[in-house]
Amino acid sequence: MSVTTLTPDVVVRAPKVLLHEHLDGGVRPDTVAQLARDAHYSGLPTFDPADLARWFVADAPGSDLVRYLEGFAHTTAVMQTRESLVRVATESALDLADDGVVYAEVRFAPEQHRAGGLTLEEVVRAVLDGFARGTELARERGRTIVVRTILSAMRQAALSETIAELAVAFRDEGVCAFDIAGPEDGFPPTAHLRAFHLIQRENFHLTIHAGEAFGLASIWQAVQFGNAERLGHGVRIADDITTAGGGAQLGALANYVRDRRIPLEVCPTSNVHTGAVASIADHPIDLLKRLRFRVTVNTDNRLMSGISLSSEFLACARAFNWTLDDMQWLTLNAAKSAFFPFTKRLDLINSVIKPGYAALRDEQ
């Protein structure tokens, strides 16, 4: 067997880069149950970890973004103390490292973790401390991972400027960007222009959730009004592409996004579970890849989709016949698009990613 075929073993061992992962969407089911017991939280549908894991996966016919987001009420409810935030962040770093992720940007909304009396600054500090602890524990297990943090503001709330200021304040301590998240329809990016402009004035980084549940208008606003450096999901850019007779015709917005090399943080299984696409086989990620958009593969929420980054690559490989070369190209896209200093990105690419894929090829 050629190792250019993407088998589970090869995919797990291949170095991977993750740009779009929500902290409260990647909690271990047994941790949710234990933290709920500790906090005397009775809202869980079940305390059995296996049953809980099944409940969180929003894959029933007719699921949409609203159903998908229901699970976050439970995960955020049990992440309201410093101890719980440190634990979840520590386990997140460990789980990603065990899956072969060598660099990750994990986002969360600090405003959703204040019910226990923590300040916004204390919330951020707890998560950063957890990532540091998880990174060190992973190193002790022989795995190396860099975990950085994106602070998200909820687009249906009114704290985006405050969260943007918070992101800038922690820029030298592990926070690498600002984002807005939450329901797209009815909550356009243009409602958060003051936050975006603050980030731009501070020469900081910005990614915007756009083009997932809502269409091209969301992407257009994120790019043209928000000046987004990356698009969270961005999958609906395919609505501006017409295919016929084996060719593809790009509209003005699709051309602009491709020409500007604006990275797309694509999350295939999540897009299926939120109703953005019907199935992995119907997902436009392969079309976007063949048209040479700056496509990256991501998880979004491992708990809500019952996945890992490795399983995402495997699902796409089975649907689109991707090889190790395809996986390396997509991983390099992600590494080039990371909110990581240029010299460190180069070192990650040349010292970790390329040698890792070369070693897998040498096993043939």
Catalytic residue annotation: 212
Tokens standing for residue 354 = 């390329």
The two structure tokens encoding residue 116? 């226990």
- Spell out where the chain has E strands: 16-22, 101-108, 146-154, 175-181, 207-210, 230-233, 241-244, 247-250, 264-266, 295-297
d(CA 28, CA 31): 5
Q: What angle do CA 96, 98, 101 make, to 5 degrees?
A: 45
Q: Three-state SS for 72?
A: helix
According to DSSP, the residues that pair with 16 across neighbouring strands are: 101
Chain-centroid distance, C-alpha 229: 15
Report the candidate in 172, 286, 176 with the shortest Cα–Cα distance to residue 235. Answer: 286
